[in-house]
Amino acid sequence: MSLHVVDHALIRHKLTALRRRETQSAHFRRLLGEIGALLTMEALRALPESQQRIDTPLVAMVAPILAAPEPCLVAILRAGLGLLEGARTVLPDAPVGHVGLVRDETTLAASQYMLRLPPELSARGALLLDPMLATGGSAANAVRALRQAGTRDIRFACVVAAPEGVARMTAEFPDVPIYTAALDERLNEHGYIVPGLGDAGDRCFGTE
């Protein structure tokens, strides 16, 4: 199974602040961005490299560079926008896509209301961003949309994952690695992750 629970003291520290009930929207968004940057670094740790001859101010040397253009960043709306802000500080030149998805509160099924993907997607691959992997319906819907757009090379980054969502994603898309800051205990009867951090979109945008 391709699940990576990122082992980083700073990520754990920031996630604890994110989980706190009293953390207000502006702070919540800032933390989400910071975690987004750290998760992006981790998810792209092993991108293929090549060597290039360069001149430093002192000498000539052969130094590593990325072998191919960096992957596209794709945010699942709305809460993925919080992660995207941080991811873009690390990859400022990456093309960006958006997948608008909302869960039905009763059935928990995700429905798509918007899709805008960069043309470079199939050539570059994608890092898909959403802070919450709960039932996995939203992530699965987004991966299907990316696949239909022609890319097989997809990584998924989230902040909190539930075992139910991980099971669904790894069964349906065993070739999509998942990078998460935490694997939580379970979903409650309303489909919320426990202990979780509540509704990420509402907390991010102050719509609670």
- Are 141 and 110 in contact by the 8 Å Cβ rule? The answer is yes
Q: Per rule CB under 6 A, is residue 126 in the interface with ligand URA? A: no
Catalytic residue status for 202: yes
For the purposes of burial, counting CB atoms within 10 Å of the CB of 4, is it exposed (0-12), middle (13-18) or buried (19 or more)?
middle
Catalytic residue status for 151: no
Q: Per rule CB under 6 A, is residue 78 in the interface with ligand PRP? A: yes
- Are 128 and 77 in contact by the 8 Å Cβ rule? The answer is no
> Closest-CB residue for ligand PRP?
201
| Chain-centroid distance, C-alpha 133 | 10
User: Would you say 177 or 191 has its CB closer to ligand URA?
Assistant: 191
Catalytic residue status for 199: yes
Half-sphere exposure of 113 (CA within 13 A, CB side): 9
Name the helix (H) or strand (E) containing 132. Answer: strand 132-133
Q: Which does 74 bind (CB under 5 to 8 A by kind): ligand URA, ligand PRP, none?
A: none
Largest CA distance in the chain: 65
Q: Which stretch binds ligand URA (CB under 6 A): 2-10, 49-57, 145-153, 198-206?
A: 198-206
Q: Per rule CB under 6 A, is residue 201 in the interface with ligand PRP? A: yes
Q: Per rule CB under 6 A, is residue 76 in the interface with ligand URA? A: no
Residues belonging to the active site: 103, 107, 199, 202
